[in-house]
Structure 1
Amino acid sequence: MQTSNPTLPFGYSPVPAGKLANMVTCLEMFERPAARPLPPETGLRVERWAEPSVSDYRDLYRRVGEDWLWVSRIVMPDAELQAIITDPLIEIHVLTDGKRRLGLLELDFREEGECEIAFFGVVPEAIGNGAGRIMMNAAIDNAWSRPISRFWVHTCNFDHPAALAFYQRSGFTPYAFMVEICDDPRLDGRMSRDLAPHVPIIEPR
């Protein structure tokens, strides 16, 4: 995430038309939290996805994240994405019902002594049935099975409105805000214009 100024001025800062201003909350934990109970039996489980193809990865990434304007892995060059998803310090897991991939969990151990939840989400039809808790418990188990001292994640105001509270219930503590300015991917053809209706499109004049 790139920053150009150390601080923003007090008060309102105009955002150019065609750009998005994304409020990011960073959260962290420094020890394994007490386990939270799993939902009643759902038939869902989390499995390691050892060697996803770029196309299969992007398909799940889109299904999970396009309504929240996840775009980075869609526009990333194939070779760069391939290098990430095959990196031995990146763990990719999927939530599955035995037939379909319903959730994506990506853990990044490339920073020594740390683990970042790079991506975490479930497909729309899996929201609200305990799928998130199943995936988060798996994330915590896998992260703290390594010799780490810090586990962290960031979420933003484009994510599901329950995401921030969910991370806090899971043991993460907010420690910083950041503002990300980026091009609206719905205006340049990278994403469909009808996605993320909770984020208005403001056309350049």
Structure 2
Amino acid sequence: MNLDGYTDLPSRKIAAIVTYLEMRSPPPALREQAQEGWSLQSLSSDADRYRTLYRRIGEPWLWFSRLAMSDEELSGILGDPKVEAYALRDGQNDIGLLELDFRSEREAELVFLGLVPGAVGKGTGRFLVNEAIRRAFAHPIDRFFVHTCSLDHPAALAFYMRAGFMPYRRAIEVADDPRLQGHLPRDCAPHVPVLD
């Protein structure tokens, strides 16, 4: 890979700049957000519901990792007692996803935090990240970390930084285009052209 300039990608591939962020202690004060009837429901035993919500949130941003997994693999992750996965409910519908992974010693990963398109900009993201921080630091951890990428919502990186995460590393991720693999519809994420 050329580290000074452009590097061509083969057709059928996508690439993203990944930014890794971490938090070593919770912020002194979490910015509170009214709940307005919101609640979290566990998804630990419901892989189908998880996948449906993951797809609704992630299609515009080419989220595909959980869609490419077998049912057994996903159920194994969700059923692990050191993984917490929740659907954010607005009283009627699933509108957000929160997944935390405590399988590493004294660390927690914010694996997924996302909202369905109609829930963005209403304080739901603030509510979810506050819950993530509270739940993570309720465990004996030294570090809480997350990564986001240039394919995600344009406000994601700044959102995590406002929540108290600090960037510490960048990487380039190259993957097969999930639309050409059949994991996502070909017409999703039109801001990333399909090259086949």
Asked if the contact 1:24–1:155 (Cα under 8 Å) also holds between the matched residues in 2, the reply is yes
Alignment correspondent of 1:10: 4
Alignment correspondent of 1:177: 170
Alignment correspondent of 1:133: 126
Cα 1:67–1:52 change in 2 (3 A) is farther
Q: What secondary structure sits across from 1:72 in the alignment?
A: coil
Question: How far apart are the structure 2 equivalents of 1:88 and 1:15?
Answer: 39
Cα 1:107–1:8 change in 2 (3 A) is farther
Cα distance, 1:8 vs structure 2: 5.0
Question: How far apart are the structure 1 equivalents of 2:43 and 2:152?
Answer: 27
Are residue 190 (structure 1) and residue 195 (structure 2) matched? no
Per-residue displacement from partner, 1:115-148 (whole Å, max 9, x unpaired)?
0011110111101101100000000000000000
Question: How far apart are the structure 2 equivalents of 1:172 and 1:90?
Answer: 21
Cα distance, 1:35 vs structure 2: 2.6
Question: How far apart are the structure 2 equivalents of 1:160 and 1:67?
Answer: 8
Task: Report the identity percentage.
Answer: 49
Letter in 2 for 1:146: H
Aligned alpha-carbon RMSD (Å): 1.4
- Gapped regions of structure 1 (runs ≥ 5): 1-6
TM-score normalized with structure 1 length: 0.91
Cα distance, 1:39 vs structure 2: 3.3
Alignment correspondent of 2:13: 19
Asked if the contact 1:48–1:91 (Cα under 8 Å) also holds between the matched residues in 2, the reply is no
Alignment correspondent of 1:165: 158
TM-score normalized with structure 2 length: 0.95
Alignment correspondent of 1:72: 65
Cα distance, 1:98 vs structure 2: 1.8
Alignment correspondent of 2:22: 28
Alignment correspondent of 2:84: 91
Letter in 1 for 2:25: E
Question: How far apart are the structure 1 equivalents of 2:35 and 2:86?
Answer: 20
Asked if the contact 1:58–1:73 (Cα under 8 Å) also holds between the matched residues in 2, the reply is yes
Question: How far apart are the structure 1 equivalents of 2:3 and 2:122?
Answer: 42
Question: How far apart are the structure 2 equivalents of 1:74 and 1:44?
Answer: 26
